[in-house]
Amino acid sequence: MSRATKTISIDELRLGMFIERLDRSWLTTPFMRHRFVLSDADDIALLKRYGIKQIVIDPTKGLDVEERVTAPAAPPAPAVSPEAPSLAVSPDAPAASAPRDVPAPAPSTDRPAAIPSRADLAIAGLVHSESVTAMQRILEGITSAVRLDSPALRTMVTRIHDRLIENRSAMMTVTRLQQLQRFDAHIFSHVINVNVLAMAIGIEQGLDAQRLEELALGALLHDIGEMRLPLNLFRKGDALTAAERGLLHQHPRLGIALLSHSREMTETIRRIIVEHHERYDGSGYPSHLRGEAIAPLSQLVGLVDVYDALVTSRYGRPAITPPQAIRQIYKLGLAGQFHKTQVEHMIQCLGVYPIGSLVELSTGERAVVVATKAELSVKPSLKIICDAKGHPYPQPLLIDLSEPDTEGPARAILRDLDPQQEDCRIEVYLDAT
C-alpha cells in the first residue's frame, strides 16, 4: 500500500477518490471490486447503508481530501468491450414504421424511476445469494434428520418480500442474472428464483399476509423431495430416460414425507409441495388431479416452476429466452394445462417481455429490458444498446416506453431476439448504468 494513503470519514468521501480499504472486511459488503476509483454517487450511499464509517484513500491514484472540482465531471464514455455484442440487423427483419437511421443518443442524465440503481442491485444480490446459502443449509439439514428451521425460512421470506416492495425490478433483475448463470438443475437457487417470482405475482394479485406467506414458504419447499433423489439425476448432460422421469415424478410425495413431522407446515403449504406438478387438465403428477381439485396457490407455484425451468438449462435441454417462455406458457394455458387467469396474472406481472429480454425496436435499434410495470406489460423500461446498423452506442440510452419522449423518435418494441444468435451477453447490460 502506498505511504500516501489517508484515512477519512465517510462524510469526506467524494467522487474521484481512489478507495484503498474500508473499516471492515470487503466480504461483508456487496462490492465485487475491492480497490477502485469512486465514480458513482450510488456507491457512496451504498457504503453508508452498510455502516461504513472510515475509508482509506490513495491520493496518488485519485482525488485528495483538499481537492475540489467546480462541477461534477461526467465520467468518460466506456470503451466498447470485446464482450460487447456485435448485433447485425437480420436480413429478414420486418420493415419499421419509424425512421431506421437514428442518431446516436446523448447520454441519459435521468434514470427512469423503475430502473434499479447500483445500490438497489447490490442489496438485492446480497439477499438472493444469502437466501441460496440458507436454503442449502436448511434442505441439507432436513435430509440429515435436523428439524426444519421455520424461523430462518420466515426471515428469508420477509427479506425477499421487503426487497420486492422497495424495488421489485432490482430483485427480478438479480433473479434473471442468476438464471443466466445457472447451467444445471441446482435446487437451492431454483427454489429461491421460484419464491421471488411467485411472491411478486402474489403481491400483484393482492394476496393477504397469511396467504402470501404460505405461497412463499410453499415455493421455498416445493422441491424438497428432490433431496431424496440421486444427485447424478440432476447432473445429466442429456435427456432423462423413462425410468429416470418416473423416479423424478416421486419427489412431490417424498417432500411431504420429509415434512411429515413438521407441525409448522399448514395444509396449504403441504398442498403446494404435493400438487405443484398437477395440471388443470389432469395431465400432471403424482395424482393426476384436475380443475378445482388443485389449490390455486399450488397452480401458481407450478406455473412459476415451469417458467424458471424453461429459462435455464436443465437435463441437456438448452434454455429459451424469457419472451419465448412466456409464449410457451400462454400456449399451455390455451391447451388447458394451467388456469387461464393464473397465466394472465403471471404475464401481467412479468411482462410480455420480461427483464433480461433482448428486443428490436421500431427504429431498428436493439435494446435490453431492464424494468417492467405490471399495469403496462408491453411498455417496459429499456437500455438501448446499439443503432439500426448494429453499432453499439458508447453509453446505453435509458428510456421508459410508458412515458412519452418529446425529444427522441417514437419507439415501440417490434419483436424479441435471441441473445445467443445475436452474440449479445445480456448480463453485461443488466448491471446499473
**For residue 412, pLDDT beyond 50:** yes
Q: Which amino acid is at 430?
A: L
Domain of 198: which CATH number? 1.10.3210.10
**pLDDT, average across residues 270-283:** 97
Any domain includes 385: no
Same domain, 144 and 273: yes
Residue 127 and residue 11 share a domain: no
Separation of alpha carbons 27 and 54, rounded Å = 16
Domain, as residue range, for 282 = 118-350
Tell me: pLDDT of 92 over 50. Answer: no
Closest listed residue to residue 29, CA positions, set 131, 121, 122, 162: 122
Contact 181, 148 (CB under 8 A): no
CA gap 373, 422 in Å, rounded:
26
Residue 410 lies in a domain: no
Residue 335 falls inside a structural domain = yes
Residue 95 has pLDDT above 90, yes or no: no
In this predicted structure, which of 230-239, 255-264, 267-276, 324-333 has the lowest mean pLDDT? 230-239
Query: What DSSP string runs through 38-80?
Result: ---HHHHHHHHHTT--EEEE-TTTS--SS---SSPPPPPPPPP
Query: What would the grid cell of residue 249 be?
Result: 415424478
Q: Is the pLDDT of residue 383 over 80?
A: yes
Structure confidence by residue, pLDDT tens digits, 47-79 = 887 778 889 998 888 888 875 444 344 433 333
Residue 365 lies in a domain: no
157 in the same domain as 12: no
Q: Give the pLDDT score at 121.
A: 92
- Which residue in this structure is represented by grid cell 397452480? 299
> Within a domain: residue 299?
yes
Same domain for 40 and 160, yes or no, is: no
Measure the CA–CA gap between 119 and 130, rounded to whole angstroms: 17
Model pLDDT, residue 145: 77
Q: How many domains does the chain contain in total?
A: 2
Beta-strand pair 376-386/36-37: unpaired
User: What's the whole-number mean pLDDT along residues 33-46?
Assistant: 78
pLDDT for res 123: 93
Q: How far is it, in rounded angstroms, from Cα 176 to Cα 199?
A: 15
Asked whether the CA dihedral 137, 139, 145, 146 is positive or negative, the reply is positive
